[in-house]
Structure 1
Amino acid sequence: MRPTISTPYSFCLYRSGVDSFVEAVRTGLRELADPVKAPEMQAYMKSEMPFLGVQKPGRVALLKSLPRIDSRDEWLDAVRTLWREATYREERYVALALSGDRRFQSVELLPWFDEMIVTGAWWDYVDEIASKRIGPLLRSSPDVVRPLMLKWSVDADRWRRRTSIICQLGFKGATDVELLTACVDANVEDPDFFLRKGIGWALREFAKTEPGWVRAFVEARPGLSPLSRREALKHL
């Protein structure tokens, strides 16, 4: 008797496809592993999670060699599985790269990107999510993302705050100056290195478009840290 296609059976087929993709990523990374580079990469990144020693070119080539995922649900499930179940940092790097698929980007992903920011909790993850995931969503859906960035700018989590500060990197003339001002001012006196560095970085990038505005902004804020001030005025 032929099996009847039911929801549980369909789910098994769907889950099998995701599991096969994830296993292909893990197998590929293990095959590319470099035990000499692994401890060096872990030390440089100050990471508790171990590395396999697979550098970016190898990870990019691996992703290109894998079957294309055309289902949004399967894509997101694969990203989440690689991220949440990672035992090596490269698995999260692959999940991060996969998360940028332009076909599937929407504000519905904001809770997931938030999870990546909070659980990743380090600059190598957060900076890419902020500038290449949150930033484009801010451009396309400012009515949704802008209020969230204002909320994150005063959040207890420093990585949400850093995201709010640097999410407009590369916006140039399209920069929401009021949003940038609010997010910087909310953190201008915070002693955290990553926040101070982020402030300087955001201002330095905007100075390429509006140098006079950035200079005046810095001069009007005596509480700005020397690090933020130095970074902001670096090329002025």
Structure 2
Amino acid sequence: MTDTRPTTLLTAVRAGLAELADPRKAPDMQRYMKSAMPFRGVSSPDRRVLGKRLFEEYPLSSVDEWRASILSLWRDAEYREERYLAIDLAGHRRYAAWQTPDLVPMYDEMIVTGAWWDFVDELASRRIGPLLRAHREVLTPVMRRWATDADLWRRRTSIICQLQSKEDTDTGLLTYSIEANMGDRDFFIRKGIGWALRQFARTEPAWVRAFVDAHPRLSPLSRREAMKHL
């Protein structure tokens, strides 16, 4: 298979991160994130500015080239910021028309191999979520399968993928994903349940109150988060 990776963009990204690197900040960032992968020490605002500039300077001409670039940044990353930029590239407005259900396997790989909240939460709410809203007939069955998957991060994704959905929230899917995981004692599952309910309460507070009242098996953490602003 032909290697379609555009080395110019990938080289520019890695050179840009090296230029912005702050070795004094990197250890604290790695410690805070409990990450085995080291950091360059590049702040989120600086990383976003870098990505915005480089993604405009090095446009990608096909969906295959774009996807290969994302996966190369992700798979070959030596520093955590490279993976953040892979996620940023996946969401860049230039490539919005290429956001189709065909990307689910790529996002799934990033969720399962990323396996931590900083990666998964962005992918769940800002990559999987929009795909779900645009392609419900395809994505809803996938999210229902993920809700009972052995992988913790797929399950968290199924719970929080509708954080940005507001009035377009599929309450049937939300209910299914939460009920499938209510008995899980993992912090990230319980926190995710509470977060999903708290966010939806901004749109449908009465629904969330009724849901919490009807589910006494919700963990104290999930219940507390859900009712935080009610």
TM-score, normalized by length of structure 1? 0.92
Alignment of 1:75 with 2:66, yes or no, is yes
Structure-1 separation of matches of 2:221 and 2:81: 31
Structure-1 separation of matches of 2:53 and 2:174: 40
Q: Which residue of 2 aligns with 1:21?
A: 9
Q: Which residue of 1 aligns with 2:81?
A: 90
2:43 to 34, 38, 55: 55
Identity %: 61
Q: Report the number of matched residues.
A: 224
Is the partner of 2:77 in helix, strand or coil?
coil
State the 1:103 CA deviation.
3.1
2:120 to 123, 126, 141: 126
State the 1:132 CA deviation.
0.6
Alignment of 1:106 with 2:106, yes or no, is no
State the 1:64 CA deviation.
2.4
State the 1:99 CA deviation.
0.9
Q: Which residue of 1 aligns with 2:219?
A: 225
Deviations 1:14-39 (A, max 9, x none): 54xx1121111111100100001100
Deviations 1:49-85 (A, max 9, x none): 0000011121112122222223211111111101000
Residue identity in the other structure for 1:19: T
Q: Which residue of 1 aligns with 2:205?
A: 211
Structure-1 separation of matches of 2:52 and 2:195: 32
Runs of 4+ in structure 1 over 3 Å off: none
Residue identity in the other structure for 2:110: M
RMSD value over aligned CA atoms?
A: 1.3
Q: Which residue of 1 aligns with 2:176?
A: 182
Structure-1 separation of matches of 2:152 and 2:193: 12
Greater Rg over alpha carbons, structure: 1
2:28 to 40, 46, 67: 40
State the 1:170 CA deviation.
2.0
Q: Which residue of 1 aligns with 2:110?
A: 116
Alignment of 1:234 with 2:228, yes or no, is yes
Residue identity in the other structure for 1:28: G
TM-score, normalized by length of structure 2? 0.94
State the 1:146 CA deviation.
0.1
Structure-2 separation of matches of 1:65 and 1:173: 34
State the 1:119 CA deviation.
0.1
Residue identity in the other structure for 2:86: A
Structure-1 separation of matches of 2:146 and 2:53: 37
1:31 to 14, 19, 27: 19
